[in-house]
Amino acid sequence: MWTSKVPSQQLNNKHQLFKGRLLTVGSALQRHQQQNHWEELLETTPTRSDEEWMQAKAYAELPGPGAWRLLSYFLPGGKLYNTNLIQMNRRMREWYGDIYRLPGLLGKNDVIFTYNPKDFESTYRNEGIWPIRIGLESFTYYRKVIRPDVFGGIGGLVSEQGKSWADIRNKVNPVLMKVQNVRQNLPQIDQISKEFIDKLETLRNTATHTLNADFHEQLKMWAFESISFVALNTRMGLLSDQPDPNAARLAQHMSEFFNYSFTYDVQPSIWPYYQMPEFKKFLKTYDHITEITTNYIEAAIKRFDDAQQSDTKCVLQQLLALNKQVAVVMAMDMLMAGIDTTSSAFVTVLYHLACNPEKQSQLHRELRRILPSCEDALTAENTKNMPYLRACIKEGLRITSITPGNFRITTKDLVLSGYRVPRGTGVLMGVLELSNSDEYFASSAQFVPERWLKSDSDVDVDVKACPEARSRNPFVYLPFGFGPRTCIGKRIAELEMETLLARLLRRYKISWLAETPLQYESTIILSPHGDIRFKFEPHSV
Ligand code: HEM
């Protein structure tokens, strides 16, 4: 059974109510558009009549509040007033159990919340080749309705469904999911990490070893510089004193995009009925991002045309070879999905290492073997064997997955935890809770990278692998999702995080200075927030 143990992070209340509501209220037109878009993907066979289905309990018997009760929870004085999504889910789980239903208000589909890994398995195993995950509607609207001239009717991976999604995904999978192809970027990603550390040195108080700057903001610039190198084959100079002026504008518009997207894609909004002036500003932000990104792509195309033909093609060249519109959409999606995610995940892993000095020392020993001197380069050869570093990343993302739940719309009738769940129902799989449960991970509150090591890992003799401390169930740990719709940026994110962690922890002993544990606010993802202070003391060797 689930233990109601709270993971180490605290969650900020801001915005959560609305996110919770998104799943239950939403705007009628958005809902209508979404349904029109994906309802045609649902299986058309008659309702199941097999034994499992017939013996299962009726859908109506699922625990959960009725519509009015649910609304009353959120009113001032209500039991869930001012709670965030995670707190709301935890309380509801205490009240209703490991599976419960939130009614879809105003005609929106119901959402089943489940904490049973067997349900995760059933949902994923039956998602078919075109899994449905509701994306950001404003993306699709802007690309398909406002700017078909630029995007040629392509909505992008995040928001497309069905065949339109698969057409892009099948094309770009070999470019972005193949480890070797992504790892060809290592020299430049390493160079960017070195520049990040040079910048950190200029911001570091050498007496107190603290930073005179917002570390998380600096990390966003690092993530931006790294992903724009991969997506646009362009160095933006965001870690230098003189960034490319267009890059600085793009960074600004990206940050506006995240705020607007939360307001118009996550919170319920009337924009599909009536476009208020603020929504029009959001469309302008999309315009700016589109204009700057396409200019960078045009400049890169010119550079590629002028350069000598080479056997190795960068990611952008490979995407352009598929189709120019796919390349433009994918490059923009990489920028939009690859900055806050990677920087938030990075802060998370660093925080756990900072709070666990003995694990950090162990990692430092591994890194000294890989980089005898801080100035050495990270290469395809020397990065092959860094099991402890990789285990630290996995363990950090286990304790705090920045995407705490995974979402699908069921395409078939499913039996979940003994209840009949009709096709077309939303299922939210609360994976963060399971990866923080002692039932699946021994001493789950503790940061134990050793649980991810294989017994025969090539680590120091004094490290003891303990793979038995992690569950073999593949559905209880899914920081990048699962199946054909899994995160397409996983390889890139891993490369970036490994490279910068190797450089940072090779060079500094890092400790956590804030008085409270790392806190998170939840917008589109869980994002570190509040007092984020580390100490960076250079190692003597
Ligand atoms: C540590 C960093 C990251 C985490 C934890 C993360 C997590 C996720 C998760 C959980 C999903 C949903 C998967 C599913 O529904 O099964 C997703 C989707 C996606 N991610 Fe990431 N992500 C990260 C970094 C990136 C980066 C760097 C990129 C840029 C290439 C990226 C691009 C995308 C895209 C385009 C999708 C939608 C894929 C689709 O629907 O086909 N992500 N990500």
* Confidence at residue 346, expressed as pLDDT on a 0 to 100 scale: 98
Among all chains, which residue has been given the structure tokens 């960068």? 314
Q: Is 134 in the pocket of ligand 1 (CB under 6 A)?
A: no
Q: Which two tokens stand for residue 305?
A: 């045309």
Within a domain: residue 225? yes
Residue 276, pLDDT score: 92
Q: CA-to-CA distance for 412 and 483, rounded, in angstroms?
A: 16
Q: How far apart are CA 473 and CA 265, in angstroms?
A: 33
Mean pLDDT of the chain: 89
What is the rounded CA–CA span in Å between residue 451 and residue 445? Answer: 13
List strands edge to edge, sheet with 519-522: 10-12, 519-522, 526-529
For residue 329, is it within any domain?
yes
Whether the Cβ atoms of residue 421 and residue 413 lie closer than 8 Å to each other: yes
CA distances to 69, 112, 145, 419 from 96, rounded to whole Å, are 13, 12, 42, 14
What is the 196 CA–ligand 1 centroid distance (Å)? 24
Is 115 part of a structural domain of the chain?
no
Cβ–ligand 1 distance for 253 under 6 Å, the answer: no
CATH number at residue 303: 1.10.630.10
Backbone angles phi, psi at 408, to 5 degrees: -145, 155
DSSP class of residue 5?
Answer: P
| 333 CA to centre of ligand 1 in angstroms | 10
Q: How far is CA 378 from the centre of its chain?
A: 26
DSSP assignments along 486-504, one per residue: S-TTHHHHHHHHHHHHHHH
* Interval between CA 88 and ligand 1 midpoint (Å): 24
Distance 156 CA to ligand 1 centre (A): 13
Q: Is 487 in the pocket of ligand 1 (CB under 6 A)?
A: yes
Cβ 157 under 6 angstroms from ligand 1: yes
Residue 437 lies in a domain: yes
**Residue 406 CB–ligand 1 contact under 6 Å:** yes
Low-confidence ranges of the chain (pLDDT < 70): 1-37, 84-85, 105-108, 267-268, 461
Residue 88 within any structural domain of the chain: no
Residue 5 has a pLDDT of 31
Whole-angstrom distance, CA of residue 500 vs CA of residue 503: 5
What's the confidence (pLDDT) of residue 11? 36
In a domain? residue 113? no
Distance separating alpha carbons of residues 519 and 501, to the nearest angstrom: 21
The protein residue whose alpha carbon is closest to atom 1 in ligand 1 is 342
Is residue 66 situated within a structural domain? no
CA 334 to ligand 1 center in whole angstroms: 9
pLDDT in the model for residue 108: 67
Is 119 among the domain residues? no
pLDDT digits (tens, 9 = 90+) for 478-524: 999 999 999 999 999 999 999 999 999 999 999 999 999 999 887 77
255 Cα distance to chain centroid: 16
- 124 Cβ inside 6 Å of ligand 1: no
Instruction: Indicate whether residue 480 lines ligand 1 (CB < 6 A).
Output: yes
Where b means 16+ CB within 10 Å and e means fewer, 491-511 reads: bbbbbbbbbbbbbbbbbbbbb
* Cβ density class 64-79: b for 16+ within 10 Å, e for less: bbeeeebbebbeeeee
State phi, psi for 268 to the nearest 5 degrees: -65, 140
- The neighbouring-strand residues paired with 527 are 521
Q: Is 487 annotated as a binding residue?
A: yes
Q: Given ligand 1 and candidates 349, 487, 494, which is best to mutate, with the most ligand atoms within 8 Å of its CB?
A: 487
The Å distance, Cα 374 to ligand 1 centre, comes to 31
C-beta of 398 in contact with ligand 1 (< 6 A):
no
Map tokens 């793009």 to a residue. Answer: 250
Q: Which residues, in sequence order, are CB contacts of 56 under 8 Å at separation 6+?
A: 415, 418, 419, 420
CB-ligand 1 contact for 528 (6 Å cutoff): no
- How far apart CA 104 and CA 386 sit, in angstroms, is 47
CA nearest to 127, candidates 483, 486, 487: 483
Domain hosting residue 443, numbered range: 162-408+425-538
Split into its structural domains, the chain has a count of: 1
Of the candidates 496, 524, 478, the residue with the CA atom closest to the CA atom of residue 231:
496
Bridge partner residues of 10 (DSSP): 519
Ligand 1 close to Cβ of residue 338 (< 6 A): yes
What does R_g of the chain's alpha carbons equal in angstroms? Answer: 23
Model confidence, pTM:
0.91
The closest-lying atom of ligand 1 relative to the alpha carbon of residue 401 is 5
pLDDT digits (tens, 9 = 90+) for 455-467: 777 777 678 899 9
